[in-house]
Amino acid sequence: MKKRLIVLLAVIALLSVTTSCATLLDSETAAAYNNSADAYFEKGDYYDRAIADYTEAIRLDPENVEAYINRADAYFWKEDYDHAIADYIKVIQLDPKNVKAYINRGLAYLCKDEKDQAIADYNEAIRLDLVNVEAYIRRGWAYYCKKNYAQAFADYAEAIRLDPENTEAYINRGIAYLIKGDYDQAIADYNEAIRLDSVNVKAYIYRGWAYYCKKNYAQAFADFTEAIRLDPKNASAYSIRGLAYKFKGDYDQAIAVYNEMIRLDLDIAGAYSSRADVYLEKGDYDQAFTDYEKAIHLDPTAWNYHARGKAYESKGDYDQAITDYTEMIRLKPTSDNYFTRGKAYELKGDYDQAIADYTEAIRLDTKKMWGYIYRADVYLKKGDYDLAFSDYNKAIQLDPENEWAYISRGKAYELKGDLERAIADYEAALRIEPDSFLIKLYLENVLRQQEQ
């Protein structure tokens, strides 16, 4: 649930800045390529062609700030964050006071999970423009991701103080409350956003989700319906309503929503993929794989191969899952995708291949705590305690406030028969999450073993 909400948050304003021209002729030619690229970019499906035209604009006018920033945006939407950051760096070199470049580079860093770098960029944006509401909103989200909730909500409050009628500030703070589980506060923020802008579709969608989380299904679906009434072509509104029906266990209603999306030609590939997920929940594998096939045919993206791979994995067909995950990695060789394939190898019992994938995932993102835990778990299955504990220790070093790092190491100590250290780890986990029934259960179990 949280992941889907975070995905929905990924909205960034496109930028416009004044271009600097080398010569009038080159400037006009560069502008033509820049405008051509803008046309491709607006279509959403032609990032590579847009990037090619922005690149030509830059070749003709190497100081064209607008072309650099637009190409950075295109790279960002392609999820090629490294190239996006490189272009934002160039913009800042050409125009050191370009606030938007710092804000957008901060978002790119945040997408790479480089939260401190993101905050540094937002700090600089705020230093350059003390009343920039967007910078406070974005920095608030970065602090939230760091679990610095006090600073996050302080930034949202400052954004609202600077602009009490900024609906995005209320919506973003509402999302933070929603993910935190404070549904009433989230609803209060969405209410204010709707009061300020009664036709704000996003506010209705998110408020509907907050009501759904409170199990107020009537109000939730009323909000989803209102979002669709306001924007009958809004694919996100349909998708969220379908997802809510799925989570509620009302599979036929969910399928009906996705059927309607297909009929209206709204994100058809996404509708087929989502409908396939529902059929999978119903146990109708044939229909599920038919829909996954259609989704991949229409949109052969890493996401759709991932979805079908997960379906094969749930069926126990690990070889087919690995085949899909391999294609997913070919299309998008990210750390998370190597983790996904590594888990399939682990489930298959191919521990060496699992370790190889987890190692590559860690190489791509050395700061991801879960990578070390996953690899440690496999080392443990192979009986290699030294390597396992080395990885568990690294996970705790990376995130000493994550209870699962201590739980995982505690279970390893318990398996090894080192009950004292197991108890110490479970107690450390319990200090982080004192209300966790699971941690208490682990601790009670090992204490009973110690008494025997």
List pLDDT tens digits, range 394-408: 999 999 988 999 999
From 125-129, 144-148, 299-303, 388-392, the region with the lowest mean pLDDT: 144-148
**Lowest-pLDDT range of 26-30, 159-163, 289-293:** 26-30
Of 31-35, 209-213, 246-250, the one with minimum mean pLDDT is 31-35
pLDDT of residue 48: 84
> Residues 359-367: contacts with CB within 8 Å, 24+ apart?
361/335, 361/336, 362/335, 364/333, 364/334, 364/335, 364/338, 365/113, 365/335, 367/113, 367/114, 367/398
Please report, rounded to a whole number, the percentage of residues in the chain having pLDDT higher than 70: 90
- Cut 0.75: pTM above it: no
CATH of 367-452, one of 3.40.50.300, 1.25.40.10, 1.10.287.130, 1.10.10.10: 1.25.40.10
pLDDT above 90 covers what percent of the chain? Answer: 79
Which of 23-37, 128-142, 245-259, 423-437 has the least mean pLDDT? 23-37
pLDDT value at position 18? 28
- State residue 47's pLDDT score: 80
Of 2-11, 137-146, 304-313, 353-362, the range with the lowest mean pLDDT is 2-11
pLDDT of 223-240, one tens digit each? 999 999 999 999 989 999
At residue 79 the predicted structure's pLDDT band, cuts being 50, 70 and 90, is confident
Structure confidence at residue 40 (pLDDT): 44
Average model confidence (pLDDT) across the chain: 88
Domain 164-231, second-level architecture? Alpha Horseshoe (1.25)
Check if the beta carbon of residue 432 is closer than 8 Å to that of residue 400. Answer: no
- Which residues of the chain are in CATH 1.25.40.10 domains? 164-231, 367-452
Give start and end residues of each alpha helix (H) in 197-334.
Answer: 201-213, 217-230, 235-248, 251-264, 268-282, 285-298, 302-315, 318-331
Q: Cα–Cα distance between 194 and 379 in angstroms, integer?
A: 52
